[in-house]
Amino acid sequence: MSGFPALTSGHRPVGVVSFAQHDNVRRDGEHNDVEMLLPVIAEVFGNVGITKDDVGFICSGSTDYLVGGPFSFVGALDAVGVWPPRAESHVEMDGAWALYEAWVLLQEGEIDSALVYSFGRSSPGNLSEILALQLDPYYMAPLWPDPCSLAALQAQALIDTGRASEADFAAVAARARRSALGNPKAQLAYDRSPEELLREDYEVAPLRRHALPPLTDGCAAIVLAAGDRAYELCERPAFITGIDHRVETHALGARDLTRSASTTLAGQKAGVGKAGVDVAELHAPFAHQELILVDALGLADDVEVSPSGGALAANPIMSAGLIRIGEASTRIWSGLADRAVAHATSGPCLQQNLVCVLEGV
């Protein structure tokens, strides 16, 4: 027992004590969602020697639009086993927001631990069309704009401010894919220079292939534990000292796409700037978005950004945000970092953002 860090959010220390993720693949055509989750749930419990019967709450993040079937989150509970009846909830969002809900419940003090998981595949449907349906139904969705085109508008706007160039995007992608070489779960990793990447053709100008995330099937899970329970399960828990999420208008034309006001606000509320940051795992599916996020969070030059390779290395939809929290936590557990920032995004062009500060004692 080593005590607890000072909290910016909430009053009860809640730590990430276990994390597991599926192999990130372009297409898992063999397993259904339940079969993909089974080994991940078993691993996340097995890491800390507990079972489903030991957690007080279960919360998941997913969306039925990905598989085109109703209530897939109810079916996915078969991977956990919910008998006797369990306190359970679900968000139609990335698992990072499911973690937020579990964190809120843990603050109330009635339970000491929770399972959070998320799942989603990019492969069953046409992701470009599916994601168009999250846009406003009157002016945007009927145009079916795909996420790469919307991100390209954002990237061009960023270039137009003079704050970044295509070479900067290539530098982000080169660093992320090189970092990913050390991540066994990475789907896309390589050692190529920014100069080489800049010779690629445009996918959607000004974005070249390297600036885009891979399409990924995957899932992930985390166990949270509060107070003393965290130390029972983990030698050095990654305590959530600050967590907050903010959303911007769905009207893309009403936003300054080159800034992420919601990330800045969430970062302030989570206390990112209260002390130095060793590592930041940022959910930036497109290379230029990392630049916007680093700026929005006010991260110093010496902060190690997305050592896992981030969403450019693997972008399992609905899980890539939760995985950022898991990856940041692993660095606290190992002692590589004392203070980490994890970020998750949702919606087009960084519309909604969650920021989480993790600290070890």
Partner 1 sequence: MSEPVTMMAAPMRLDYVFTPGVAQGKNMHGLERGVFIGQRCPKCKKVYTLSRGSCPTDGVPTDEIVELSNTGTVTTYCVVNVPFAGQSIELPYICAQILLDGANLSFMGLIQEIPAGEIRMGLRVEAVWVPPDELGPTMASVKYFRPNGEPDAAFETYKEYL
- Positions touching partner 1 (CB under 8 A) are 28-35, 38, 41, 52, 65, 67-68, 75, 77-83, 121, 123-126, 129-130, 133, 137-138, 141-142
Which value, to the nearest 10 degrees, does the dihedral of the CA atoms of residues 245, 246, 251, 257 take? Answer: -90
Least distance from partner 1 to the Cβ atom of residue 229, Å: 21
Name which of 1 and 143 has its Cβ closer to partner 1. Answer: 143
Name which of 30 and 201 has its Cβ closer to partner 1. Answer: 30
Q: What is the DSSP string of 23-89?
A: PPBS---S--HHHHHHHHHHHHHHTTT--GGG-S-EEEE--GGGTT-TTHHHHHGGGT---S---EE
- Residue 289 structure tokens: 């978005």
Question: From CA 328, how far away is CA 341, in angstroms rounded?
Answer: 7
Name which of 38 and 111 has its Cβ closer to partner 1. Answer: 38
Least distance from partner 1 to the Cβ atom of residue 83, Å: 4
Environment class of residue 254 by beta-carbon count within 10 Å: exposed (0-12), middle (13-18) or buried (19+)? exposed
3-state SS class at 287: helix
Least distance from partner 1 to the Cβ atom of residue 281, Å: 29
Name which of 40 and 282 has its Cβ closer to partner 1. Answer: 40
Name which of 82 and 361 has its Cβ closer to partner 1. Answer: 82
Compute how many other C-beta atoms are within 10 angstroms of the C-beta atom of residue 202: 12
The contacts of residue 200 (CB under 8 Å, 6+ apart) are 208, 209, 210
Least distance from partner 1 to the Cβ atom of residue 282, Å: 30
Q: Which helix (H) or strand (E) holds 346?
A: strand 339-346
Least distance from partner 1 to the Cβ atom of residue 133, Å: 7
Name which of 41 and 188 has its Cβ closer to partner 1. Answer: 41
Name which of 76 and 299 has its Cβ closer to partner 1. Answer: 76
Least distance from partner 1 to the Cβ atom of residue 67, Å: 7
Compute how many other C-beta atoms are within 10 angstroms of the C-beta atom of residue 107: 15
The contacts of residue 118 (CB under 8 Å, 6+ apart) are 60, 61, 62, 94, 95, 98, 219, 220, 221, 318, 319, 322
Least distance from partner 1 to the Cβ atom of residue 307, Å: 32
